[in-house]
Chain A
Amino acid sequence: MRAELHLARRYLIGLGRRTHVATVSAISLLSLALGVLALVVTLSLLDGFQSTIKRGILAQSAHARIEPARGRVLHDPAELVSILHRELPDVGIVEIVQGTCLVRGIGDAVPAHVEGRSDMEAPAIDSVLAARIGAGAGERINVISPRRRLTPMGPVPVHAVVRVNRVAPRQPGVDGGVLLLPLAQAQRLLWGHKVVEALELRTFSDPWRLAGTVRSVLAGHADQLRIKGVRELHHSLLLALSLERIMIFFAVGLMLVIAALNLLCNVAMVAAEKRTDLAVLAGLGLGPRALRRLFVALGLGIGVLGAALGAAGGTLLAVVLDRTKALPLPRGIFIVDAVPFRVDPLMVLTVTGLALALSAVASWLPARLVARRDPAEGLRYE
Chain B
Amino acid sequence: MSEGAPIVVLEGVSKGYGEGANRVEVLRDLDLEVHRGELLAVVGPSGVGKSTLLHLMGLLDRPDAGRIILGDRDVSTLDQEARARARNREIGFVFQYHYLLDELNAVDNVALPLRIAGRRTEAARGRARELLERVGLADRGHHFPDQLSGGEQQRVAVARALAMEPPLLLADEPTGNLDRNNAEKLFSLVGELHLLEGLTSVIVTHNEEMAGRCDRVFRLAPVGDESRDV
A interface residues with partner B (beta carbon < 8 Å) = 1-3, 6-7, 10-11, 14-15, 17-18, 276-277, 279-290, 374-376, 379-380, 382
**Interchain CA distance A196-B47 in the complex, whole Å:** 102
The distance from the CB of B211 to the nearest CB of chain A, in whole angstroms, is 22
Cβ–Cβ < 8 Å partners of A2 in chain B: 115, 118
The distance from the CB of B135 to the nearest CB of chain A, in whole angstroms, is 17
**A14: nearest chain-B partner, CB-CB:** B103
Q: Are A285 and B81 in contact (CB under 8 A)?
A: no
Q: Are B85 and A287 in contact (CB under 8 A)?
A: yes
**4 nearest interchain CB pairs?**
A285-B88, A287-B84, A3-B115, A376-B61
Cβ–Cβ < 8 Å partners of B61 in chain A: 374-376
Q: Are A285 and B144 in contact (CB under 8 A)?
A: no
**Interchain CA distance A379-B89 in the complex, whole Å:** 20
- A17: which of B88, B103, B112, B160 is its contact (CB, 8 Å)? B103
Cβ–Cβ < 8 Å partners of B80 in chain A: 287-288
The distance from the CB of A138 to the nearest CB of chain B, in whole angstroms, is 81
Cβ–Cβ < 8 Å partners of A376 in chain B: 55, 60-61
Tell me if B167 counts as interface (CB < 8 A to partner A). Answer: no
Number of A-B contacts (CB under 8 A): 87
Q: Are A284 and B95 in contact (CB under 8 A)?
A: no
Q: Are B60 and A17 in contact (CB under 8 A)?
A: no
**B164: nearest chain-A partner, CB-CB:** A285
- B95: which of A1, A7, A379 is its contact (CB, 8 Å)? A379
**Interchain CA distance A104-B116 in the complex, whole Å:** 88
Secondary structure dominating the interface of A: helix
Cβ–Cβ < 8 Å partners of B115 in chain A: 2-3, 6
Cβ–Cβ < 8 Å partners of B84 in chain A: 282, 285-288, 290
Question: Given A1-B121, A284-B88, are A18 and B103 also a contact pair (CB < 8 Å)?
Answer: yes
Q: Are B113 and A284 in contact (CB under 8 A)?
A: yes
**Interchain CA distance A287-B89 in the complex, whole Å:** 12
The distance from the CB of A329 to the nearest CB of chain B, in whole angstroms, is 52
Tell me if B97 counts as interface (CB < 8 A to partner A). Answer: yes
Q: Are B117 and A287 in contact (CB under 8 A)?
A: no
Q: Are B160 and A284 in contact (CB under 8 A)?
A: yes
The distance from the CB of A371 to the nearest CB of chain B, in whole angstroms, is 8
Question: Given A14-B103, A280-B99, A376-B55, are A3 and B85 also a contact pair (CB < 8 Å)?
Answer: no
**Interchain CA distance A283-B83 in the complex, whole Å:** 10
Tell me if B87 counts as interface (CB < 8 A to partner A). Answer: yes
